[in-house]
Structure formats: C-alpha cells, structure tokens
Amino acid sequence: MLSVNEIWEDYYPQIKKFVSNRIQNEADADDIVQQVFMKINNHLDQLSDEKKLSSWIYQIARNCMVDHYRKQKWADELPPELPATDQYEEPDLAQEVIACFESTIQQLPEKYKEALKLSLVEGLTQREISERLNISYSGVKSRVQRGREMLKELLTSCCHIESDRYGNIIDFHVNWRFPDCS
C-alpha cells in the first residue's frame, strides 16, 4: 500500500494544476489542495483497489471544490467548468503523446522511420523486421536504436512529457516555440 508521502510526491503537481484551473483564487486553491490530501490521509485505508487510486484522488478533489462552492453560496448551480457528474474522467494524456509521437516519427529519415514503425507501432521483433526488410539482424538493431535516439531527441526538443514513478503520464504539452513541432 502506498503511503501518503508517496501519493503527495506523485500527485501533488497534477492535483494542484487541476484545482488551480477551476478555482481562480490562489489561496482558495491551495486550501482545497490541502483538504484533498488531508482526506486522502484520513481515508487511504478505505481504498480497496490501488488501480483506482488516481480516479479516487480526482474524485476527492472534485468533491472538495464542490464543497468550496457550496460554502461560498454564490449560486445554486455549479460553474460550467466543474462537471456535474459523479465521476471525473482524467484527461487522456497518453492519446496526446501518441498523436505527438506519430507526427514526430514522420520527421525521421525513411529507413529509421520504417524500422521504428515496425518495432514500436506494429510490435514486430527485430528478427521479424530483419526478414520483412530483407536486411541483417544487426542492421535492424542499429536502425531501431538510432531511430529511437533520433525520436527521443525530437520529442524532448518539442514536447514536455512528465510521468510519475510508475510510468503514468501526468503532464504533457507541446512546446510550440519550436517550428518543427506539429
């Protein structure tokens, strides 16, 4: 079972961002984030499925924001940026990364692009790629390795990808100041 400190390290930045995007007053947003982690601390033992940790945390954050608006008594209706459903769907950052990946891989030289598509997208082994492309196994290994290095260089120059220690993507955005990013 995870500790509250581990959860804090893994989720604080994204929960802070999630709340700050919906609560305009920075002090109120900080208070809400603090409430979220206090509730996590008090109820962590009630979480039955660790795979649902992220959804559970976002639901707590959403409920804390709803409580905030109720206390303010601003209106009978919730602001439109807060979903009225009982479930929060986390943004699918993986899909955004895949879209960036697919457009970035197109910028590679043809021989590396082809080897990477067969390896990473189609999931072929390097032996299968060797047979399909009719080149040596060591040639495929070299192309895949060099292609990965080129792809990593392109992605890190134009995209910000942040993941937690489990490899889950917690933040992603394209650095549009780079002209080659699409």
Please check the confidence at residue 180 and state whether its pLDDT lies above 50.
no
Query: What is the helix (H) or strand (E) element at residue 173, kind and residue range?
Result: strand 169-174
Query: Mean per-residue pLDDT for 52-70?
Result: 86
Write the class of the CATH domain 93-174: mainly alpha
Percent over 70 (pLDDT), the chain? 74
pLDDT digits (tens, 9 = 90+) for 76-102: 455 566 555 555 555 566 666 666 777
Ranges in the chain annotated CATH 1.10.1740.10: 4-72
Alpha-carbon torsion angle 46, 51, 55, 61, nearest 10: 50
pLDDT digits (tens, 9 = 90+) for 9-60: 888 999 999 898 888 888 989 999 999 999 998 888 888 888 888 888 988 9
Query: Mean per-residue pLDDT for 155-175?
Result: 70
One of 1.10.1740.10, 2.115.10.20, 1.10.1040.10, 3.40.640.10 is the CATH number of 4-72, namely 1.10.1740.10
What is the C-alpha separation between 101 and 82, in angstroms, rounded?
31
Between β-strands 169-174 and 159-163, what pairing exists: parallel, antiparallel or unpaired?
Answer: antiparallel
